[in-house]
A and B are shown apart, each in its own frame.
Chain A
């Protein structure tokens, strides 16, 4: 009775699952994308300062390690990360450009450059109030001006509780506008898509009175908050108020996302029933993340600096647990696990990819940095199948019930008519007995004898009827519909006879039941045989095989 959704969707799903693999085929995001005919980045070196106190004069004298990888990925660290680069102007004209540090979430980035004999510095980043920034944009931007044929040495100092990745590029004003516009479009799209689905599910859950939709909406809401805060939505739109509470917001939202998603997973997969093992793991992960978030916030409130690596690991743990839970529930027969796996595997993989990227286990490229957005949009779409399935399931069930009800009503009518027939027969018995009673004494004996014979015969038929009625569940329900579907031109009385044949009644018995002669039944059997287009096979075997 279970409704099966089309195989086409399974194929689509498999294709979608393969998508994350593309991330490894993507080109690396380069440290610099500069038009080499005007500006050129010559040398890049890195230095980690665990004390976080080194000044630019000290740094200037230290030896920077030359970097090897394309993206300078420091991962999570409490150190101050320094980056040195030389920008060469190959033209004769003064070049005014923007230096972009391509990650949205860096607490603070400081640019040092030499003006005359003095070092000057400019600051930007999430924790810096908007009014103190020279250029307001979605990433960290610094204005740079380089004279013709000149070489400028620039130092960048980044401090962050999030993964530190430098992807440096030099842009002009126009490119900044178009990049920020693209980012706005992506964020708007994401916000619109997920928010409307969240509200939709909330409304749906409210009107069909099912809690799962409510929990789903909550998990979605947390996902929106997380994705937007990671993409710098809040720091862009609420810049000055945001600077103070950004560290707490992002850790809090991450933990909330893990906790609410775990809650939803537990409910939709009914983990308590299908896999207690996964259930406890899920609870544990949620508890760990919440505790971590509280712990990190408290440590920061006391003025210490601590990065979010532990939380990123908790997130990795969560995605693995969630996929495991889905598989376990599916194997143990949870009905919704199929849809869960379809919708969530992709999302979880994309989140896993992203987290592995920020922790520094895999490279940053366009795909790893953005795939979670696609993942979560696809997830909400794929879960629509679950709703459709519930609907279809109900509809199929209703249809089956309706058919059963019709059959039962048919059965009932038959049994009742049988009952009436027996009653009628008993009336005849009464008449006969009264007749015997009134006849002469010497005749009584012989009359009684013939009466007993009659009665015995009658009992024998009734015995068979009792058998029919006892097995009515098995016999009647499907046989008739099958017969009708296969041979639609059978009349109702012919179908009745088929029933009797199926129950192994002899032609004589059928004749008595239907109150006709044996010859009439023989004719009918012949007609049925014709209609069933039988040649050598007998009716009896065919009907019993049906």
Chain B
């Protein structure tokens, strides 16, 4: 399948070749400014056996390429690139040939100078002592004497994806580029490491393992990026190809591994979609195999590539995104932020995987989008944290309000209880009075006592009804009343309750221990504040302000 695509690309390349007149053009290093990268001025030959040497290759027919940066994706063979440099000036010109991608296993440059074959070598799997300068990218030193023309053959092999971005630089461009790459690596290192630590600290103090998983996921992204940017090849193990062989893919797989764990935890995917959960597990297993298998094949002396690794990452990004969509559709609150943040980060990872497999051309945008993506993702996920914070704050405020209402209710019921107790005391006095009265007046007194007792019971009946429903009525009724008429005082609101449960002015006065007149005045005030014309209307309005 892969082979067909490569052939198709080459086929298209041949077709476009006829249209591009400058493809075979010689590059003049005598000029001040050279148009970089020089991919369109190189020709290509694919040696699937990897066995051909320089002398054999010289006689082969090379095919012109159309891309500024030839992208061969993953293959087990050797790609040969041929290009010609010419020095139009009258002086010796010394230049540096730069190949951007830092994790190409080995690059060999063959050329003839004064009839003698020369060979230079560089690449991730080449010892530092064999290279020109100990640098982050791959460099060759070239020198052309006055009016000289040299044809160069570049042999590219590697287990990683091969994009050969060739630049012809002078010393200043070289050092500027180097500092720029270093600054980018440093920037990315700083940004992701600090966020990792930040979340680690946060997770430890808030005691929420989710932050720890997020920190791990960030660490995975950091390791993968550093590996891709040549941090390990350039800074950590410049002299240890054996370590590079295993460290780089392990770092890349750590992204898939840790991020899968985080995705599973973050959106509780097991709850929402068991299928996606198992897909995640599948991707993790596949990823581990994709690292172990090519590694052991290479150790046994076979040629192999890490293509399955990038396919694994590719599949992972899609599953991760789908898991976000499923969780959002199932109503997971966290998933909203997750989806927003990850969409950007994952698009970056996705397009990088496509780039590595040769489906996209290499340019500044495709090369760096995943860096930008992961930085934006980190920032967007801060909304997730803020969301949780806001949710808990909202909950606290709601609880506070409820508590206040309940306290009010309790106070009222207790005061009602006191009032009833007082009434009973009065009752006792009355009965004792009756007891002391003369026989003939007793029945009439008892009668009046029974009447007042009945009336009292009627009031209490209404209050009981009200207290039965206190749970339901109070909190919402008060909120609604306040919303409708914010200038009501707490006292007036209480009177509104009592009106609502159908108590008469006299009864309200009894409860509130004031005169009937005072209640009448209060009713009038409420009427005015609520902007209604009659008492009945007040009552109706209050009745309609149903909880």
Binding site for B on A (CB under 8 A): 5-6, 9, 136, 174, 177-178, 180-181, 184-197, 199-200, 203-204, 207-208, 236, 377, 380-382, 384-385, 387-392, 394-395, 397-398, 401-402, 404-405, 408-409, 411-412, 415-416, 418-420, 422-423, 426-427, 429-430, 433-434, 436-437, 441, 444-445, 448-449, 451-452, 455-456, 458-459, 462-463, 465-466, 469-470, 472
Contacts and interface: CB of A to CB of B under 8 A. Distances in A.
Interface string B359-394: 000000000000000010011101101111110110
Contacts of B116: none
Nearest to B207: A392
B57 interface: no
Contact of B133 (A177, A196, A436): A177
Contact of A441 (B133, B414, B442): B442
Interface in B435-492: 435, 439, 442-443, 446-447, 449-450, 453-454, 456-457, 460-461, 463-464, 467-468, 470-471
B434 interface: yes
Interface of B: 133-136, 172, 175, 178-179, 182-195, 197-198, 201-202, 205-206, 235, 375, 378-380, 382-383, 385-390, 392-393, 395-396, 399-400, 402-403, 406-407, 409-410, 413-414, 416-418, 420-421, 424-425, 427-428, 431-432, 434-435, 439, 442-443, 446-447, 449-450, 453-454, 456-457, 460-461, 463-464, 467-468, 470-471
A177 B464 contact: no
Nearest to B402: A405
A394 B185 contact: no
B172 A412 contact: no
B379 A188 contact: no
Given A200-B379, A204-B382, A430-B457, A418 B417 contact: yes
A444 B386 CA distance: 76
Nearest to B400: A401
B453 A455 contact: no
A408 B409 CA distance: 10
14 contacts: A136-B172, A190-B190, A192-B187, A193-B194, A200-B378, A387-B202, A388-B202, A388-B205, A388-B206, A423-B457, A430-B454, A441-B443, A444-B442, A459-B428
A394 B392 contact: yes
A419 B393 contact: no
Contacts of B388: 391
Contact of A207 (B390, B406, B463): B390
Given A391-B392, A408-B407, A448-B434, A192 B188 contact: yes
Given A177-B133, A415-B413, A419-B464, A459 B424 contact: yes
Contacts, number: 250
Contacts of B400: 401
Contacts of A181: 136, 178-179, 182
Given A418-B417, A452-B428, A423 B464 contact: yes
A-B pairs, 9 with minimum CB distance: A188-B186, A192-B190, A193-B190, A388-B205, A192-B187, A192-B191, A207-B386, A189-B190, A184-B182
Contacts of A387: 202
A415 B186 contact: no
Contact of B194 (A380, A409, A465, A466): A380
Given A196-B375, A437-B447, 10 more contacts: A185-B185, A196-B192, A204-B382, A391-B389, A394-B392, A416-B467, A419-B420, A423-B460, A426-B460, A455-B424
A188 B383 contact: no
Nearest to A192: B190
A466 B179 contact: no
Contact of B427 (A380, A394, A427, A429): A429
A437 B443 contact: yes
Nearest to B446: A437
Contacts of A465: 417
A420 B464 contact: yes
Contacts of A185: 182-183, 185-186, 189, 235
A266 to B, nearest CB: 24
Nearest to B409: A412
B186 A187 contact: yes
A420 B205 CA distance: 49
Contacts of B427: 429, 455
Nearest to B435: A448
A226 B388 CA distance: 34
A389 B201 CA distance: 11
A196 B194 contact: yes
A189 B186 contact: yes
A426 B192 CA distance: 74
B435 A433 contact: no
Contact of B187 (A188, A384, A419): A188
A382 B439 CA distance: 89
A451 to B, nearest CB: 7
B417 A415 contact: yes
Given A188-B183, A392-B205, A426-B424, A380 B191 contact: no
Contacts of B442: 441, 444
Contacts of A411: 410
Given A181-B179, A381-B201, A405 B406 contact: yes
Given A207-B390, A455-B424, A409 B191 contact: no
Contacts of A136: 172, 175
B389 A394 contact: yes
Contacts of B189: 185, 188-189, 192
A200 B202 CA distance: 14
Contacts of A203: 379-380, 382-383, 386
A208 B428 contact: no
A412 B413 contact: yes
B178 to A, nearest CB: 7
Contacts of A188: 182-190
A448 B8 CA distance: 114
A465 to B, nearest CB: 8
A184 B186 CA distance: 7
Contact of A459 (B406, B421, B463): B421
Contacts of B205: 5-6, 9, 384-385, 388-389, 392
Contacts of B461: 423
Contacts of A415: 410, 413-414, 417
B175 A195 contact: no
